[in-house]
Structure 1
Amino acid sequence: MGFTFAQWGYITLLVACTLTGSCMANKSWPGYSSNYTSGWGHRQVYHHPNKTDAPNKISVGGSENWHFGFNYSEWALKNGPFYLNDILVFKYDPPKNDSHPHSVYLLPDLKSFKSCNFSHARMLASTTQGGDEGFEFALKSWQPYYFACGESNGVHCNLGGMKFMVMPALRGWNF
């Protein structure tokens, strides 16, 4: 049994994204803190803060945490690559009478992610699980992960920027 055209397209996209993310991990991008090793006749090498031999615990959104109106896709691009077994920590305030609650869902595919369709999504964390130390999710498989807030009928995902994709890299692979 062979792959369909759509499956080959998905595999090609997956490999291309992985290679691009891994290649970009060693570049110096504006906005990052400088961490170079250089000398006469040596090329400059950027050491990404997530590049360690052990799994990293990464707070989603950094000091912004998980809230409406922040671009998490941009955050993921600036703070990647993420590696297998890294742990993402989602922190958000529990619901109050006058607040809009948040949650964390795992969407099944790119199409659902792009359209913020939660019909086949899996809830990872309810509106109350992001308080205190937050909700932790480990990137255990080499696959794309599509995260989004499922509250307000997808408004937080569509208009609030509360979605991002992660394709964990294999630790130790340098391109």
Structure 2
Amino acid sequence: MGFRFAQGLVLLLTTAASLVEIGLANTIGGSPRVPPSPSRSPKTFIVGESQNWKFGVNYTDWALKNAAFYFNDTLVFKYDPPSNTTFPHSVSLLPNLRSFRNCDLKKAKMVANQTQGAGNGFHFVLKKKKPYYFVCAERDGFHCNVGLMKFTVAPLHRQQRRY
């Protein structure tokens, strides 16, 4: 019983710390990367940059380093189609933080299949005011759990400059 409580407490504290860190990365100019002007045009981000969308890259770290994300920004997921030399990947959205933290795929919604990341990649536009929980759902969550193929973004509104 005590062990389960301790696990829950650790999960709660790491979740809270992650949310605070994401919030700070999105709003404070003193963060490791100063967010660009919120009045800028929509931007396109290659998920994972030169690493693309693949097993073993820490995408939560990538998202924190690239924050802030704004409405109408585009995330591009690039990954090789399945072959004899590559593992298949896909992109799914999870409905909530609990599913995200546990890589619980029961209510996952696939937004890009195993072939859509080839070529120019799969483009996802951040259009809603909500957190997005992205994961690779391949191998029954193994890529999400062990391969770190998950991250979350919460797009911000662009502010209009008043003169």
Q: TM-score range by the shorter chain?
A: 0.7 to 0.9
- The within-5 A match list for 1:1-175 is 19-24=23-28, 26-29=29-32, 46=34, 48=35, 53-172=40-159
Q: How far has the Cα of 1:106 moved from its partner? A: 0.4
Q: How far has the Cα of 1:103 moved from its partner? A: 0.3
Percent identity, aligned pairs only, is 48
Q: How far has the Cα of 1:134 moved from its partner? A: 0.1
Structure 1 counterpart SS, 2:27: helix
Residues 61 and 50 of structure 1: CA distance in aligned 2, closer, same or farther (over 3 Å): farther
Structure 2 counterpart SS, 1:95: coil
C-alpha distance after superposition, 1:84-115 (max 9, x if no partner):
11000000001002321000000000010011
Aligned residues: 144
Structure 1 residue ranges without an equivalent (≥5): 1-12, 33-45
Q: What TM-score does the superposition give when structure 2 sets the normalisation length?
A: 0.80
CA distance in 2, matches of 1:120, 1:23: 31
CA distance in 2, matches of 1:49, 1:152: 37
Q: What TM-score does the superposition give when structure 1 sets the normalisation length?
A: 0.75
Q: How far has the Cα of 1:54 moved from its partner? A: 1.1
Q: Which moved more, 1:51-60 or 1:96-105?
A: 51-60
Higher-strand-fraction structure: 1
Query: Which protein is bigger by CA-based radius of gyration?
Result: 1
The one-letter amino acid of 2:77's match is F
Aligned residues: CA RMSD: 2.4
- Consecutive aligned runs of 4 or more in structure 1 exceeding 4 Å deviation: 15-19, 49-52
Structure 2 counterpart SS, 1:89: strand
Give yes or no for contact 2:92–2:111 (8 Å, CA) kept in 1: yes
CA distance in 1, matches of 2:23, 2:101: 21
Higher-helix-fraction structure: 2
Q: How far has the Cα of 1:23 moved from its partner? A: 2.1
Residues 114 and 28 of structure 1: CA distance in aligned 2, closer, same or farther (over 3 Å): closer
